[in-house]
Amino acid sequence: MAITAAEVNKLRQQTGAGMMDCKKALEESNGDFEAAVDFLRKKGAKVAANRADRDAKEGVVLAKTSADNKTGVVISVNCETDFVAKNAEFIEFAETVAGVALDKKPASIDELKALPYNGQISIADKFMEQVGKIGEKIDIGYYNLVNAEQVVGYIHPGNRLAVAIGFNKQVSAEVAKNIAMQAAAMAPVAIDKDDVDKTVIDRELDIARETTRAEGKPEEMVEKIAQGKLNKFYKDSTLLNQEYFIDNKMTVRQFLQGVEKDLTVSALKRYSLS
């Protein structure tokens, strides 16, 4: 199939690989973007590790928690330009939408949009009103809810990344903030290795096997090496198994157990604009 320059550029921007590598990857993958990313990873081309937010553009990402600190939301209100995203009125609009989400706890973006914005019109209608006023497409790019014994929210400066993290018991403000900052900085894909989606595990193993074979390792060693690489993935990409950013001699799990024996993270939502 014909591969357009725009498609090649999108893959290049996403992965950091060369233009010819991206063109070949798309051709080999019949234009399938996800498959092309995996093709580049298997070939060892430079690929950004965090791909979860690849479709996000500009906007405001917020985290809000309830007064009793048992509920939190993470939400992204998207727009087309950085100019609008930094506008105080647009940020206030996003804050209001986040407040409605926290108060009403809708189960989905569609349910959130159906809720009243100010008692007169729905959030969906308010978005349409804002589109007419601002002259840009705006929408809710992400929304998720966290419930736990204690929830803390963290918004990275610039409103492009936010985290809501839940603990199984009450913790100090300092501990809660540090773990939220860990999740923001280190971008875990899950809380623990048992929480990683099977499709992610299968993908990591497949890539590990192919890269191991490409290194010329004997076939009888491929599976063992792939499992070792998967364990490294767990260490790098699951929150409790990551090195604690304040003291890399311990994991996040070990730090929490040092605070209180059975203290752990029970919920995590993280979102960032690419």
Measured from the Cβ of residue 132, the count of other Cβ atoms closer than 10 Å reads: 8
Give residue-wise pLDDT tens across range 29-60: 999 988 888 887 777 655 544 333 444 489 99
Give residue-wise pLDDT tens across range 149-208: 999 999 999 999 999 999 999 999 999 999 999 999 999 999 999 999 999 999 999 999
Report, as an integer, the average pLDDT of 128-135: 75
pLDDT score at 36: 87
The Cα–Cα gap between 98 and 105 comes to 10
Residue with tokens 């051709």: 27
For 73, 160, 173, 255, 256, the CA distances from 170, given in Å and listed in that order, are 18, 28, 9, 15, 12
Contacts of 116 (CB under 8 A, 6+ apart): 100, 122, 123
Residue 5 reports pLDDT greater than 70: yes
DSSP annotation of 29: T
pTM of the model: 0.76
Residue 252 reports pLDDT greater than 90: yes
Contacts of 182 (CB under 8 A, 6+ apart): 239, 242, 244, 245, 252
Residue 86 Cα to chain centre, angstroms: 21
Please name every residue paired with 226 in a beta bridge, in sequence order, or none if there are none: none
Are 263 and 169 spatial neighbours (Cβ–Cβ below 8 Å)?
yes
The Cα–Cα gap between 67 and 65 comes to 7
Give residue-wise pLDDT tens across range 53-97: 444 489 999 999 999 999 999 999 999 888 999 999 999 999 999
Contacts of 155 (CB under 8 A, 6+ apart): 61, 62, 63, 161, 162
Helices (H), 79-161: 82-85, 88-104, 109-114, 123-134
Are 8 and 22 spatial neighbours (Cβ–Cβ below 8 Å)?
yes
Question: Could you tell me the two tokens for 125?
Answer: 């209608």
Q: Which fold has domain 1-48?
A: Helicase, Ruva Protein; domain 3 (1.10.8)
CATH architecture of the domain with range 58-186? 2-Layer Sandwich (3.30)
Domain range summary for the chain, segments of one domain joined by +:
1-48, 58-186
Q: Are strands 150-155 and 161-167 parallel, antiparallel or unpaired?
A: antiparallel
Q: What angle do CA 174, 177, 181 make, to 5 degrees?
A: 135
Residue with tokens 């357009």: 4
At residue 102, what is the residue type?
Answer: L
